[in-house]
Chain A
Amino acid sequence: MNPVSELIKNLADQHGRSRNNLLPILQGVVEQEKYLSEYSMVEIARELDLPAAEVYGTATFYSFLEHKKMGRYIIRICKTITCSMKGKNQVLLAIEDMLKINVGETTPDGIFSLLQTNCLGFCHKAPAMLINNEVYTDLTPEKVREILSIYLKKKKEGGSHDN
């Protein structure tokens, strides 16, 4: 069995197969796969006996349910007002410069994706960002370079198995 199909079947067993279990299942796939492929969405529709268009419609509504292939680490930098006032742009430039990608892109090795997001709820410690589910606050260009180099080290130490 295709590993994604198996994952979807397991998630459906765990959460249930009614419509109100759709979001946890979509989230479960994104957590493992980092995105929802067309194949995943069709499989979920089949598993839950829903029209594929309904699954697609729901999935694409939510900004954390990516439907484009993403890197292993998704960097989401907050661009809402306080973070933007407190130097978000300089931090963003530092990341772009270090990873050689622009917002919306993924590094060629598939390790990092860089996105902007709306208010993360850390306005008192702005600017803030998420890397997957980890929060980093009070960012400066220096601090963000340090954080990323830790992730880069992790990557070198091999985690190839977790991709």
Chain B
Amino acid sequence: MTTSYQLKRADFIFKYENDWEEILSKCISRTPQELINDLISSELKGRGGAGFPTGLKWKLTAEVAGATKYVICNADEGEPGTFKDREILSMVPYKVLTGMAVCGYVIGAKEGYIYLRGEYFFLQPELNKAICEFEYYCKAINLDFTIRIFMGSGAYICGEETALFESMEGKRGEPRNKPPFPSNSGYMGKPTVINNVETLAHTYTIFKYGAKRFYDLGVQYSRGSKLFSVSGDTPKPGIYELELGMSLSDFVEEFGDGDTKAVQVGGASGFLVPRKRFNETAIGFQGKLTGISLPTGGSMMLFNSSRSMFNVLDNYLEFFREESCGQCTPCRVGCQQLLKGIKAVKRGEKNAKYLDKLLRLTETMKLTAKCGLGQSVANSFSAIVENFREEMIY
């Protein structure tokens, strides 16, 4: 059991700050090493879901020699249940732009891109206005940095960083093998830092208030606050900034409707937690916390007891089947077979034991799929099939 951790609200991301010019000027008067040290001691980890330490990412890219490097802001927010990045880009775009420019200064990049998902096309005019004003100021302080928006066209997989590079290069959004990692070979084969929208917004907080202010929030291995996109069976859906490390039972107490049967943490590719595990589950990154700690890009979907978990899984699998890029067989065929399989069991064409066969298939996908999409299908599949087996059959 994790020690019960009260839900703590934070208010950094959406706090209105009109001093971005000052923060940017201040940052570029410091050395790149100092800025990297700030990020490292804040223990900020990527807020897109994977949780890679941001300071280390910048450091690795800064250390690679190269005349051309890129900073990319990943705004291809496609994970079911997440909608925080859109809100950041429309409410506090300057924080993100400042984070990008400081990153450019630190690693030695002159060009930045925001890869914006096609579904958010309507954000473009306002965002372009902000970029214009931002670039004007960069020029005024002799900071050679430009930012352009690159529009996506409705492909979930392009949120995977290497698929995103492929897409920007005018190709099908098919993930690459890693290594090489983006710090060595990213967009156009050049050293690239790619950060989630929210991660960049947090760097603003750190550069403004200092690393300690951020580090003091959260718990060990999961420092700082994070935005959570809350939806599903909840009386108060929306976006909330909370400190990391909370227990899922505290979360459900606050956001549940009193009848919460399961919570999907981290979207369809994340983890489904049934009621009996709420107490022992914390939200944060893997560390030596007792109990289970689940990382998340911030998607929290609540299901109450009126929901059929078969329908939930059917919906996820349909999603994955369509969004699989089709490049590797385990994912392409695996997603199709899982979907066919659960329908066959439901219709009684296959007996219940067939579910165990499907579970083994997800294990194979976990081991052999090329990227996170195919590997992560196992997460919610096994949790739903194991915990709600009777709903799969009858």
A139 lies within 8 A of chain B by Cβ = no
Query: Is B66 located at the chain interface by the 8 A CB criterion?
Result: no
| Contact B80–A119 (Cβ < 8 Å) | yes
B232-A121 in contact (CB<8A): no
- Give A64 to B151 CA distance when docked, in angstroms: 11
Task: Identify which of B29-37, B38-46, B311-319 touches chain A.
Answer: B311-319
Least CB separation from B77: chain A residue = A121
In the bound assembly, the distance between CA atoms of A52 and B82 in angstroms comes to 36
Stretch from A1-9, A78-86, A91-99, A147-155 forming part of the interface with B:
A78-86
When distances are taken between beta carbons in the complex, the residues of chain A under 8 Å from B170 are 18-23, 58
| Chain A 125-143 near chain B by CB (<8 Å), digits 1 or 0 | 1100010011100000000
Q: Which residues of A contact B303 (CB under 8 A)?
A: 85
Q: How far is the CA of A119 from the CA of B264 in the complex (A)?
A: 15
Q: With contacts A84-B315, A124-B230, A124-B237 known, is A23 near B154, CB below 8 A? A: no
Once the chains bind, are A133 and B168 in contact (CB under 8 Å)? no
Given contacts A23-B168, A135-B122, contact A62 B188 (CB under 8 A): no
Find residues 142-193 in chain B having any chain A CB closer than 8 Å to their own CB.
150-156, 167-173, 188
- Using a Cβ–Cβ cut-off of 8 Å, how many residues does chain B contribute to the interface with A? 51
**Cα A57 to Cα B301 with chains together (Å):** 35
Cβ-defined contact, A63 with B155, below 8 A: yes
Closest chain B residue, CB of each to CB of A23 = B170
Residue numbers in B under 8 Å from A57 (CB-CB): 172
Chain B residues near A130 (CB-CB < 8 A): 119
Task: Confirm or deny: B322 has a beta carbon within 8 angstroms of a beta carbon on chain A.
Answer: yes
Q: For the complex, is B307 an interface residue (Cβ under 8 Å from A)?
A: yes
Closest Cβ of chain B: how far from A128's Cβ, in Å? 10
| Cβ contact within 8 Å between B171 and A81 | no
- State the Cβ distance, B289 to closest chain A Cβ, in Å: 28
Chain B residues within 8 Å of A79, by CB:
315, 318
Contact A121 B82 (CB under 8 A): yes
Closest B-chain residue to A117, C-beta based?
B154
Known: A21-B170, A120-B119. A62 touches B154 (CB 8 A): yes
Contact B153 A133 (CB under 8 A): no
User: Which single residue of chain B is at the shortest CB-CB distance from A48?
Assistant: B170
A29 to B233, CA, bound (A): 41
Complex-state Cα separation, A58 to B318, whole angstroms: 22
A26 at the interface (CB under 8 A from B): yes
A62 to chain B, nearest CB (A): 4
**B269 smallest CB distance to A (angstroms):** 11
**Contact of A11 with B by CB under 8 A:** no
Partner of B121, one of A23, A85, A133: A133
Q: Which residues of A contact B307 (CB under 8 A)?
A: 85
**What is the CA–CA distance of A120 and B303 in the complex, to the nearest angstrom?**
19
Interface presence of A90 (CB below 8 A): no
Q: How far is the CA of A82 from the CA of B170 in the complex (A)?
A: 32
Q: Please, how many angstroms separate the alpha-carbon atoms of A124 and B237 in the complex?
A: 5
Q: Would you call A65 an interface residue if the criterion is a C-beta within 8 Å of the partner chain's C-beta atoms?
A: yes
Interface digits, A10-39 against B, CB 8 Å rule (1 contact, 0 not)? 000000001111111011000000000000
How far in angstroms is the closest Cβ of chain A from B121? 4
Which residue on A lies nearest to B78, using beta carbons? A119
Whether A123 is near chain B, meaning CB under 8 Å from some CB there, is yes
Is there contact, CB below 8 Å, between B155 and A62?
yes
10 contacts between A and B (CB under 8 A): A20-B168, A57-B172, A117-B154, A118-B78, A119-B319, A121-B77, A121-B120, A123-B237, A124-B230, A133-B122
A-B pairs, top 4 by smallest CB distance, nearest first, are A22-B170, A64-B154, A123-B231, A124-B237
